[in-house]
Amino acid sequence: MASRKVPVVSDSDKKILVCGETAGRTLDSMTIEAVACAERAAEMTGASVTLALPCADVHEFDIMSGGGINVIALTNPLLKLYSAAGYIAAMERAVRETSPELVLIPGTSRGNDFAPALAVRLGAVFVPGVASLKEDGGSLVFTRSCWHGKAEMELKQAPGLTVATIQPGSFAGPAHRRVRAMVHEIKIDLAIGDTVPEGEIRAVGEADSGLRNAEVIVSAGRGIGRVENLALLEETASLFARSAVGASRPVCDYGWLPYGRQIGQTGKQVSPKLYMACGISGSPQHIAGMKSSANIVAVNIDPEAPIFRYAHAGVVADLTEFLRAFIDLVREKKKTGR
């Protein structure tokens, strides 16, 4: 099974290498997104796509792909557990094997951990958090969010090697067809170095926040100002059936709500019928957790808050004044039968 030679599906010189994370025998959802992003880039530049999987042992993976894709497994028993050092060593080897111009890494917790250091090791340009792609004069142009999520930066790919991470939720599209790809194994050498992984720790007894089954989520951000104002959000939520109160990360960091209520890239990903963002500015990390909601309402005092770009209805107002008026109005309407 061990093979040193990577077959070439496309005869193009240009190559894109995607780093995948595996969850058992399936690829995790962010890897599928990264492949989708790579295939979009490949359409623009005529490049071929290779998926590199650092893993402990090789087996067949089901891969969602739009077409032909090369898969290489970089194997070593130590890769059973994630470590930045292990993934960097594996991806350095994958880059030597394939000589790509672009390495795409899912913007997961782990991807964000090792990708910047991999870029330094490879002497590559690093582009974090790619949200969209376009082509300009034969080069790729990456768009990413910056300046508190209020501005965007367009970065044109330089000659040489670029390492980029992908902002979760940006390239999720219609599911590709399932292909069973041939996996070529490359055994790599690794030693236990100065980073020793212990493995995953799962939080126990996390209270059910009710977020998963809620049809309406009223969510609190830093802009609620004081913990006392949470009562207003709970009252607002109580106006709707099957509702729950969620939060952005800072509200949980302040200890105002438990982390089980956190919505975003590092919290829960939700898609209720109605998502009402109260005092949430809309960082890319938060948007990643709620942007697929059917209806998004944002209430914020700052008309430039990025959340308004995603809102189907946006209220520019002082939050507490508005919510008090809204609660009174809805109660009145309910009492009088509308």
Binding residues for other proteins restricted to 181-200, rule: CB under 8 A: 193-200
Indicate the residue among 104 and 311 with the shorter CB distance to other proteins: 311
Q: Which stretch binds other proteins (CB under 8 A): 33-41, 56-64, 180-188, 257-265?
A: 257-265
Quickly tell me which residue has 């790599």 as its tokens.
188
Q: Which residues contact 140 (CB under 8 A, 6 or more apart)?
A: 41, 44, 45, 102, 133, 134, 156, 157
Question: Using the rule CB under 8 A, which residue among 30, 35, 252, 278 binds other proteins?
Answer: 252
Question: Using the rule CB under 8 A, which residue among 59, 80, 96, 312 binds other proteins?
Answer: 312
Q: Does 281 bind other proteins (CB under 8 A)?
A: yes
Q: Answer for the pair 44, 81: CB distance below 8 angstroms, yes or no.
A: no
Report residue 18: phi and psi, to 5°: -110, 135
The candidate with the shortest Cα–Cα distance to 199, out of 86, 75, 52, is 86
Alpha-carbon span 286 to 267, nearest angstrom: 9
Question: Using the rule CB under 8 A, which residue among 4, 202, 226, 335 binds other proteins?
Answer: 202
Quickly tell me which residue has 């977020």 as its tokens.
211
- Give me the least distance between CB of 83 and other proteins, in Å please: 7
Indicate the residue among 6 and 319 with the shorter CB distance to other proteins: 319
Q: Does 156 bind other proteins (CB under 8 A)?
A: yes
Alpha-carbon span 152 to 139, nearest angstrom: 19
Q: Does 67 bind other proteins (CB under 8 A)?
A: no
Q: Which stretch binds other proteins (CB under 8 A): 38-46, 91-99, 181-189, 322-330?
A: 322-330
At 228, list the tokens: 């006392």
Query: DSSP states of 65-101 as a string?
Result: -SS--EEEEEE-GGGGS--HHHHHHHHHHHHHHH--S
Q: Does 176 bind other proteins (CB under 8 A)?
A: no
- Give me the least distance between CB of 333 and other proteins, in Å please: 7
Indicate the residue among 61 and 322 with the shorter CB distance to other proteins: 322
Indicate the residue among 8 and 315 with the shorter CB distance to other proteins: 315
- Give me the least distance between CB of 203 and other proteins, in Å please: 5
Alpha-carbon span 107 to 28, nearest angstrom: 12
Facing residues of 133 across strands? Answer: 142
Indicate the residue among 11 and 195 with the shorter CB distance to other proteins: 195
Alpha-carbon span 251 to 221, nearest angstrom: 6
Q: Does 284 bind other proteins (CB under 8 A)?
A: yes
Q: Answer for the pair 2, 186: CB distance below 8 angstroms, yes or no.
A: yes
Facing residues of 165 across strands? Answer: 105
- Give me the least distance between CB of 11 and other proteins, in Å please: 26
- Give me the least distance between CB of 153 and other proteins, in Å please: 6
Alpha-carbon span 52 to 72, nearest angstrom: 5
At 36, list the tokens: 């989708």
132 to 151, contacts with other proteins by CB under 8 A?
Answer: 139, 142, 144-151
Question: Using the rule CB under 8 A, which residue among 206, 212, 227, 331 binds other proteins?
Answer: 206
Taken in order 75, 78, 79, 83, the sign of the CA dihedral is negative
CB atoms within 10 A of CB 207: 8
**Number of C-alpha atoms within 13 angstroms, CB side, residue 60?**
6
110 to 129, contacts with other proteins by CB under 8 A?
Answer: 110, 112-121, 123-129
- Give me the least distance between CB of 145 and other proteins, in Å please: 6
- Give me the least distance between CB of 177 and other proteins, in Å please: 29
Q: Does 216 bind other proteins (CB under 8 A)?
A: yes
Indicate the residue among 13 and 328 with the shorter CB distance to other proteins: 328
